[in-house]
Amino acid sequence: MNSLNPSVDGTLDASSSTSSISSSSPPPSSEIPPPPPPIQQKQPNTFQFMLMGAMAGLLSDGVVHPIDTIRTNTILRSSTLTPHIPKFQYSLRSLYRGFSVVSLFTIPAHASYFVSYEKSKEYLSPILKSDNLTYLLSGLIADIFGGLFWCPMDVMKQRFQYHQRLTFKDLFSSPNSLKIIYKGFGTSIAVYGPYVSLYFMLYENLKKIHFLERMSISNANVNTTNTSDSSRSSNSTANMNTTTTTTTTLSLPHYIIYASMASTVSAIVTTPLDVIKTKVQTLDIYKSPFDVLRNESPLQIRNWPMYMSGWKPRALWMASGTALTMVFYEQLKKMLHVVEEE
């Protein structure tokens, strides 16, 4: 039975009912809804930061340790003033010399490194009001905390890398063993502090540029869709929503590219500092960086190649190690469900 409304004169009029229904329904809207909001990233807790940093550091160091061994031997054979260093014999065992030290120290080092960086960035950002300054200072703070473990690790690791018969007993038999393994701590901070600060500033800005470009592409797609005729609006909107969703995470290739770019530039710029640090930490004839600068003055042109020795393996070691660390770190974030889908 049809539902009919009474007309003005009391008769039932079907047309008036139809007219009333049609007038009460809203007209179809031609406006295109905005793109979906970004996928929000939930902040991990302190324990998760430590766990992700420790696992990422151990995995990446295991991959790039042979490159670091080559770097150390290249630097120590570059100067005529250093003692005779035996010619390095390439084998799997020799390339992984000193990795036992790395596996012991890199876990607490990377854990404290990532926690201090993330927490420093979170604390300093509203105070400094400058992203670049926040990245620089947070990176420096992270390096200081990580350096408490990295400094003794570097001293022992590098001595194992070029001393073929060195043992842990040899290192700790001296009454000054603690002083020895923390030799060059200030130099280490002076080297890796600028490196880490510069790295994070470049890395964070590369990510920021990437997200801004994606947002501009998304907005361009919205404007293009708004100019289409209304008959295609629903299909266009559906396509837009599936293809231009903005996220706060990068794809795996982007993490590798941006981390490698930032690390390569930072590593090359700080190579002279790394040469000084390596000599201080491994050779007993040098007690401080000033001894290196005095005996092998950078003011003499003949010493310039020495201060850039090992820059290629250093850049390769730092770029690949940092890229792998960040990839492992970000993938572990996803595994721990700290990326929250809307």
pLDDT (mean) for 122-147 = 93
Query: Tell me: the pLDDT tens digits for 143-182?
Result: 999 999 999 898 888 888 777 666 667 677 777 777 878 8
- pTM (2 d.p.): 0.67
Write down the pLDDT at residue 209: 92
Residue 7 confidence class, pLDDT cut points 50, 70, 90: very low
What is the Rg, in whole angstroms, of the alpha carbon atoms belonging to the chain? 30
Write down the pLDDT at residue 127: 94
Query: Tell me: the pLDDT tens digits for 265-280?
Result: 999 999 999 999 888 8
pLDDT (mean) for 42-58 = 81
Round to whole Å and give the CA distance between 340 and 47.
18
Q: Where are the domains of the chain?
A: 45-221+248-335
Determine the residue type at 105. Answer: F
From the options 3.30.429.10, 1.50.40.10, 1.10.150.20, 1.10.1330.10, give the CATH code of 45-221+248-335.
Answer: 1.50.40.10
Tallying the residues shown for the chain, one arrives at 342
Strands, E, within the chain: which ranges?
Answer: 5-6, 12-13
Exposed/middle/buried for residue 101 (C-beta within 10 Å: 0-12, 13-18, 19+): buried
pLDDT of 140 higher than 90:
yes
Write down the pLDDT at residue 300: 86
Start-to-end Cα distance in the chain? 46
Query: Tell me: the pLDDT tens digits for 91-114?
Result: 778 888 889 889 989 999 999 998
